[in-house]
Amino acid sequence: MSQEQPPQASPSVSLGVDAAEYDGGLSAFFKARPRLFGIAYRMLGSAAEAEDIVQDAWLRWQTANRSVVENPTAFLATTTTRLCINAAQSAHSRRETYVGPWLPEPVDTSSDPNLGAERGEALSLAVLILLEKLSPIERAAYILREAFDYEYSEIANILQMEEANVRQLVSRGRKHIADGRRTPVSPAEQRRLLAAFIDAAQKGNMAALENLFAEDVASYSDGGGLVRAAQKPLSGRERVAKFIAAFSSHFWTGVTIEWVEVNGQSSVLVLRDGSVAALATIDASVEGIDQILWLMRPSKLVAVSRSRQPVGQPYSSGLAIS
């Protein structure tokens, strides 16, 4: 994510507090902000929704009695996590009526590979898809432990439950991820396979595609009902290869390809007339390419499109500070 600049407005008038107190609170918030966004994004799979959560956390931080807060980052992380649990429950209902496969919104991680966390866990699109199958509380426990290295006792305090229960939630999350995904290949091999896939897809080379795919490969296209895309997942080596080869003559005509790093993995942007039309990436194991993910819904491409803006162009974080 791009680095944000503190606001220049005079805070003492709008908040009713002295400037020194405001500046201290603002400094603590911006120090914690990468972590807050990292938690919210992993919980919700949406950069836009994560920004809304961070905004809400900021509003609550403004009205909190900060004089009694010993650890601002811990306070803000707790607030953010609890807000995310509530938001995830609402998001689940909306996604049940989503048109076609729902995929997480990709984010640029070239400048922050771990996206505000101690480790790059729970960040790849394939893992975020699996996390959607967990309950919000299970998801929170897994993310806080595996990505942010929180102690079980700290997670118990955040989730307001017994430590033994937290351990069970994390264990359940680990098993769910392990059962749902093969051990991924190295970043270099993932990029090599993606490059070979794009080349074969552009040429419509069905034999080459089949050689790259795992036997149970699946292709997911997220157009959200707004862009022409397959509304059901496709699976199986031959079926997926036929599908991709069939649209090679028109999908790739007149486009340019741009390599990017999103969610800790190599991906490609498909550009038409200079604008991002789609993002494609893969998840792969020693079996070959296991998943092909196509992001085509315009709102899902906002974050990666924004990261391509020319140097010097103003960046809007979506954080309204009053």
- Residue 290: which H helix or E strand, with range? strand 288-295
CA–CA gap between residue 128 and residue 42 (Å, rounded): 7
Contact between 193 and 212 (Cβ < 8 Å): yes
Confidence at residue 308, expressed as pLDDT on a 0 to 100 scale: 76
CA–CA gap between residue 244 and residue 205 (Å, rounded): 9
Three-state SS string across 37-59, please?
HHHHHHHHCCHHHHHHHHHHHHH
Structure tokens at 233: 């997942």
Give per-residue burial for 64-90: e unless 16+ CB within 10 Å, then b: eeeeeeeebeebbbbbbbbbbbebbee
The angle formed by the CA atoms of residues 285, 106 and 242, to the nearest 5 degrees, is 50
CA distances from 262 to 31, 42, 170, 179, 181 (A): 23, 13, 25, 24, 19
- Residue 266: which H helix or E strand, with range? strand 265-272
Confidence at residue 322, expressed as pLDDT on a 0 to 100 scale: 42
CA–CA gap between residue 161 and residue 285 (Å, rounded): 37
Confidence at residue 314, expressed as pLDDT on a 0 to 100 scale: 36
Confidence at residue 187, expressed as pLDDT on a 0 to 100 scale: 96
Residues of the chain under the 70 pLDDT cut: 1-23, 309-322
Structure tokens at 136: 């919000």
Contact between 243 and 219 (Cβ < 8 Å): yes
Confidence at residue 174, expressed as pLDDT on a 0 to 100 scale: 98
Q: Which residue has the tokens 């992380």?
A: 77
What's the chain's Rg over C-alpha atoms?
Answer: 21
Contact between 219 and 234 (Cβ < 8 Å): yes
Q: Which residue has the tokens 């995830």?
A: 88
Phi and psi dihedrals of 216, rounded to 5? -105, 30
Confidence at residue 311, expressed as pLDDT on a 0 to 100 scale: 38
Tally of CB atoms within 10 A around 110: 10
Confidence at residue 159, expressed as pLDDT on a 0 to 100 scale: 98
- The amino acid occupying position 155 is I
Contacts of 183 (CB under 8 A, 6+ apart): 285, 286
Domains by residue range for the chain, with CATH: 16-178 (1.20.140.160), 187-306 (3.10.450.50)
Any idea what DSSP says for residue 286? T
Q: Which residue has the tokens 């503190």?
A: 6
Confidence at residue 294, expressed as pLDDT on a 0 to 100 scale: 98
Confidence at residue 317, expressed as pLDDT on a 0 to 100 scale: 41
